[in-house]
């Protein structure tokens, strides 16, 4: 049976596969959800297909790279959130990113600058007594620079460091900041990539770790990915250079 928490979750980049699963799970736990994305139509279809009651979800337009619109977006929210999830993300192949700066720029803007822009606004609003948690979706790609994906990885590394500092900044207000450091997920962002099937996680599995986030800063879903994360952290540079 659903428990009516009376709390609101703001999901930024709500059209991703993981974010949509978060919507279902948060609603299932009794939260109200503000789902924000550029693709309003897709979210509306998702809500209809999953029979989510209109009273439990509000769909709003949000563009991570339209930085000038972020202040108004936040001010106009129907209710200030208790939990914020930044799930917006963009990925292009490393070789393409190296040869075409447009792809690199888009990754930097969506994965880092857009996140910093809107989360600064949200976190610095001390009048919002509701705020209790901010969760950012980062990546194992940002743990160490590897030649196969270091451009994308650098945007996630920067985001993780931002979240780490934000956690310290907000500690005195008892606001928890979490970084979900995620490996391969079976989502549309990874379509066409050659990935190890035994390591691919399902979106609902990752969403479960987001919705049930605890007090730890770094959350790495899946035991295999935890091991990979720890190995990457301590691996000598000479060995990292031999990784794909």
CA–CA separation, 11 and 37 (whole Å): 9
CA–CA separation, 25 and 16 (whole Å): 14
pLDDT at 1: 45
Q: Give the pLDDT mean for 136-154.
A: 87
Residue ranges per structural domain of the chain: 8-240
Half-sphere exposure of 159 (CA within 13 A, CB side): 37
Would the CA dihedral through 164, 165, 166, 167 be positive or negative? positive
Tell me phi and psi for residue 93, to 5 degrees.
Answer: -55, 140
CA–CA separation, 10 and 67 (whole Å): 17
CA dihedral in degrees (3, 85, 10, 57; nearest 10)? -60
pLDDT at 189: 56
Nearest CA-CA partner of 197 in 235, 229, 231, 224: 224
Tell me phi and psi for residue 139, to 5 degrees.
Answer: -155, 150
Q: Give the pLDDT mean for 32-44.
A: 96
- Note whether 164 and 155 are within 8 A (CB): no
pLDDT at 185: 78
Lowest mean pLDDT among 65-69, 126-130, 161-165: 126-130
| Token pair of 100 as six digits | 């075409």
- Per residue in 175-223, pLDDT (tens digit) is 999 999 988 777 665 555 555 666 788 999 999 999 999 999 999 988 8
Q: Which CATH architecture has domain 8-240?
A: 3-Layer(aba) Sandwich (3.40)
pTM score: 0.91
């Amino acid at each position: 049976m659903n428990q009516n928490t009376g709390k609101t979750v703001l999901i930024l980049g709500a059209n991703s596969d993981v974010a949509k699963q978060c919507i279902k799970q948060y609603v299932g736990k009794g939260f109200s959800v503000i789902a924000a994305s550029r693709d309003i139509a897709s979210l509306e279809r998702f809500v209809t297909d999953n029979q989510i009651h209109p009273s439990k979800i509000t769909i709003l337009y949000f563009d991570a790279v339209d930085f000038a619109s972020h202040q108004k977006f936040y001010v106009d929210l129907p209710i200030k959130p208790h939990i914020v999830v930044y799930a917006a993300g963009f990925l292009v192949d490393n070789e393409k990113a190296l040869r075409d700066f447009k792809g690199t720029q888009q990754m930097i803007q969506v994965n880092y600058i857009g996140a910093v822009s809107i989360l600064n606004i949200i976190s610095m609003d001390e009048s919002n007594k509701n705020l209790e948690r901010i969760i950012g979706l980062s990546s194992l790609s940002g743990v160490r620079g590897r030649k196969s994906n270091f451009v994308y990885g650098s945007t996630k590394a920067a985001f993780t460091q931002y979240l780490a500092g934000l956690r310290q900044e907000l500690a005195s207000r008892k606001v928890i900041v979490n970084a979900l450091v995620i490996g391969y997920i079976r989502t549309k962002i990874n379509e066409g990539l050659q990935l190890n099937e035994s390591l691919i996680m399902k979106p609902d599995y990752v969403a479960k770790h987001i919705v049930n986030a605890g007090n730890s800063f770094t959350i790495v879903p899946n035991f295999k990915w935890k091991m990979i994360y720890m190995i990457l952290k301590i691996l000598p540079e000479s060995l990292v250079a031999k990784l794909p």
